[in-house]
A and B are shown apart, each in its own frame.
Chain A
Amino acid sequence: MAAQTERAVHTPAREGSPWTGMWAVVGKEMADNLTSVRMSILETLTVLTAIGTVYAAAQNLRSGGRDPYLFLRLFTTAREPLPAFVGFLGFLVPLIAIALAFDAINGEFNRRTISRLLSQPIYRDALLLGKFLAGLFTLALVLSTIWLIIIGLGIVTLGVPPSGEEVGRLLWFLLVVIFYGGIWLSVATLFSIVFRQPATAALASIAVWLFFTVFWGMIADLLTQVLAPIRVGYLEEVVRQVRLNLALSRISPNTLYVDAVLALLNPNIRSLGLVLPVQLEGALLGTPLPLDQSVLLIWPHITGLIAATILIFALGYVLFQRREIRA
C-alpha cells in the first residue's frame, strides 16, 4: 500500500496515449476472429438457425390474418417444437461471445507472445481494449449480417417490405442483441485473465451463463419467498413480493435481454412490470405503443446491459494491469 501511494505522488501521468497501437490490435484480432474455424462453425450454426426459424415463422404467418407488424412476428413467432429466432439468439449470442473471448489473454500467455507484444511501444490498455472491441465488432458484424439475411428472407417469403417503424424497431433490437453479447464478451475476457487455461476460462464463462439462464429464476423465486413472504394477504404484500421478484430476476442479463426484445418486437406490450388497475385509467387498451415509447420502456434495460458490460470489463482491466508478465 505504501508503495502505491508513493507512486501516486511521484507519477503525475503516464506518457502518451493509452490507446497507442489499439487499432493495430483491433485489426489483427478481427482478422483472426473472422478467419478462425470456431467462428465459421458458429456462423454456420447461426445462419442455419435463422433460416430454419424464419422459414417456420413465415409458414405460420402466411396462414394468419392481417397484422400491422408482420416483420416483427418473423423474429418472434415460434412453431413447435422450435423456439422463435429471438429465443435461439438468447443462447447463441452468449455462445458466440464466449467463443470469441475465452482465450483472449491467456492465449497470449500460452503462445508466449505476451512479452513480445508488451515490449512494443503500447500500453496494456491498448491490448485489452483492442481485443474486446475486436470481439464486439466481430459480433456486430455477424449479427448484422444475419439480421440482413432475415429481412431479405422476410421480403421474399412474405412478399411485403417492412415499414419504417418496423425497421426502426429492428435496428434497436439489433443494438440490444449486440450489447447482450457485450456482457458475455466481457465475462469471457475477464475469465481469460483470471484463468491460465483457456478451457477453464471457457467452462467458467459457460457456467456463469448457465447459472443465469437456468438457475437464477429459481433462486430469485426462493429469495423472494424468504425476503418478502405473504403473511396476511394484503395487496401491499403481494405487490411488494412481485416487485422484489422482478427486481431480482432482472439481475440476470438474460431477463434484461428477453424483456427488452419483447418490448421492442411487440408494440402491444405497454409495461414490463406490475400494472395496477389505477394506472390503466385513460389508457387505450389494445393499441400499440409508438417506437419512442417502447424504447423509453426498455431504456433501463439497455443502460443496465451496457453498465454491466463496462463494469465487468473494468474488473478485468484492473486484474490485467496488475498481472505479472513472467508467468
Chain B
Amino acid sequence: MDEVVLEARGLTKRYGDFVAVDHLDLTVRQGEVFGLLGPNGAGKTTTILMLLGLTEPTEGTVRVLGFDPVRQPLSVKARVGYLPEQLGFYEGLTARENLIYTAKLNGLRRDEAYRRIDEALEQIGLSHAADQPVSTFSRGMRQRLGLADVLIKKPEIIIMDEPTQGLDPGVAQEFLEIIRNLKAQGITILLSSHLLHQVQAVCDRVGLFHRGRMVLEGTVEELAQQVLGGAYRIHLEAEGPKEALEESLRRLEGVVKVERMDTKAYLVEARRDMRAEVARAVHEAGGALLSLDMELPSLDEVYARYFEQEVNDGSAD
C-alpha cells in the first residue's frame, strides 16, 4: 500500500517568461486518491500533461510507476489512464466503436479487446447504450464513456482532469461513487478539481496549487489545521455571565480561539472534538447551555481562507 507510484521532483514548466509550474514536488502512493486543487491557471493541467509525457518538463524529474514519461512515454501511457478535461469522441461512431479504436491503439487482440470493452461498459453502467452513436449521449454519459475508455487498458493509475465539471449533482454523485469503486479495486487516482466538497468526499489527500506551486499538501484535516488554525469549529448558545463563560472556554486545553457572535452565541475553534469539555466548561462557569453544534472542517473554508490570506499578504507587500 505504501509503494510510491508517482513522484515528481522540482518539476518546472516555462512557456517563455511565463512559469506555469514552479519546482513542484509531488508524491502519490499506491491506492491513494489524491486531489489537485487550485484556481484555473494554477498549473494543474500542465502538471498532469507532464506526468503523462504529453508535454516536456523544462526542469525536474518525474517517475511514474518507475518510468520516465519523457524517455519511456509508451510504458507510462500503457499503464496510466487519462481522462482529460476536454473530453471528445468521434460523434458518428457508436460508444463501442470509439472504445474499439482505443483498444486497437493499445495493441489489444480482438477477442481480448471485446471482452474488456464489455466489462468496462458494464462497470460504468453504459451497456444499454453501447451501440448508440456518441452524438446522442448526454454530458454525464460522455464522461462515463471517457472512464470506460480509460478502463479498457486496465490502468494502474488514473488521472482525471476536472472529472465532475459540468455534471448535474446527481450524476456527479454517481461519478464519485464510481471513483470510490475504482479505489476499492486498488487503482491509484489523481484528480484535479475546483469543486471542493466533491474532492473532500473522495480524496485521501489533497494538494493546493497556487501560481504553479503546491502551497499546501496533506489530508483535509491537516490542511484545516494549517490554514484555519483550529480545525473543529464548535458553535454553541449559552446563557449566563458572558465574560466568565468566554474566559473558562479559552482556558481549555486545545482551544484555539473563542469568539462571541451575539448575546448568546459563541464560536469555539479547537484542535480536536471538544464538545464534552466545552459543555462542562459552560456548566462550571455558571452558564446554561442551550445548544451545541460542531462543524467539520470543510475544504471550501480552507480554500477560501487560504486565498484570502494570500490576497492580504500580496497587498501588504
Residue ranges of A at the interface with B (Cβ–Cβ < 8 Å): 3, 7, 11, 14-16, 20-21, 24-25, 27-28, 32, 111-123, 324-326
Residue B102 contacts which of A15, A32, A111, A120 (CB distance < 8 angstroms)? A120
B156 at the binding interface (Cβ < 8 Å):
no
A276-B225 Cα distance, complex, nearest whole Å: 95
Residue A16 contacts which of B74, B80, B82 (CB distance < 8 angstroms)? B74
- Nearest to B88 among chain A residues (CB) is A112
Given known A-B contacts A3-B58, A111-B91, A325-B55, A15 and B72 have beta carbons under 8 A apart:
yes
A241-B89 Cα distance, complex, nearest whole Å: 57
Pick out which of these stretches binds chain A: B104-112, B168-176, B209-217: B104-112
B207 at the binding interface (Cβ < 8 Å):
no
Mask: chain B, 20-35; 1 = CB below 8 Å from A; 0 = not: 0000000000000000
B78 at the binding interface (Cβ < 8 Å):
yes
B71 at the binding interface (Cβ < 8 Å):
yes
A11 touches B71 (CB 8 A): yes
In the A-B complex, the 9 residue pairs with the closest CB atoms? A112-B88, A24-B104, A119-B82, A121-B78, A120-B105, A115-B84, A112-B86, A121-B77, A113-B88
B261 at the binding interface (Cβ < 8 Å):
no
Residue A11 contacts which of B45, B70, B80 (CB distance < 8 angstroms)? B70
Residue A24 contacts which of B73, B81, B105, B149 (CB distance < 8 angstroms)? B105
Task: Report chain A residues within 8 Å CB of B91.
Answer: 111
B49 touches A117 (CB 8 A): no
B107 touches A14 (CB 8 A): no
B307 at the binding interface (Cβ < 8 Å):
no
B87 at the binding interface (Cβ < 8 Å):
yes
A113 touches B49 (CB 8 A): no
Given known A-B contacts A14-B71, A116-B82, A21 and B54 have beta carbons under 8 A apart:
no
Given known A-B contacts A118-B54, A326-B45, A21 and B105 have beta carbons under 8 A apart:
yes
A122-B105 Cα distance, complex, nearest whole Å: 7
A111-B74 Cα distance, complex, nearest whole Å: 24
A111-B135 Cα distance, complex, nearest whole Å: 12
A27-B162 Cα distance, complex, nearest whole Å: 32
B222 to A: closest C-beta gap in Å: 31
Mask: chain B, 92-116; 1 = CB below 8 Å from A; 0 = not: 0000000001101111000000000
Mask: chain B, 42-81; 1 = CB below 8 Å from A; 0 = not: 0001100100101110100000000000111111011011
Task: Report chain B residues within 8 Å CB of A119.
Answer: 52, 54, 77, 80-82, 84
Kindly count the residue-residue contacts between A and B in the assembled complex, taking CB atoms under 8 Å apart: 87
A123 touches B49 (CB 8 A): no
- Nearest to B104 among chain A residues (CB) is A24
Task: Report chain B residues within 8 Å CB of A15.
Answer: 71-75
- Nearest to B102 among chain A residues (CB) is A120
- Nearest to A327 among chain B residues (CB) is B86
Residue ranges of B at the interface with A (Cβ–Cβ < 8 Å): 45-46, 49, 52, 54-56, 58, 70-75, 77-78, 80-82, 84, 86-91, 101-102, 104-107, 146, 149, 153
25 A-B contacts (beta carbon < 8 Å): A7-B56, A11-B70, A15-B71, A16-B74, A21-B107, A24-B104, A24-B105, A27-B104, A111-B91, A112-B86, A113-B90, A115-B54, A115-B82, A115-B84, A116-B149, A118-B54, A119-B77, A120-B105, A121-B74, A121-B106, A121-B107, A123-B74, A325-B54, A326-B45, A326-B55
A326-B45 Cα distance, complex, nearest whole Å: 9
A77 to B: closest C-beta gap in Å: 42
Task: Report chain B residues within 8 Å CB of A115.
Answer: 54, 82, 84, 86
A112-B107 Cα distance, complex, nearest whole Å: 22
A120 touches B106 (CB 8 A): yes
A272-B58 Cα distance, complex, nearest whole Å: 54
A325-B77 Cα distance, complex, nearest whole Å: 15
Task: Report chain A residues within 8 Å CB of B86.
Answer: 112, 115
Task: Report chain B residues within 8 Å CB of A25.
Answer: 105
A134-B15 Cα distance, complex, nearest whole Å: 34
Task: Report chain A residues within 8 Å CB of B146.
Answer: 116
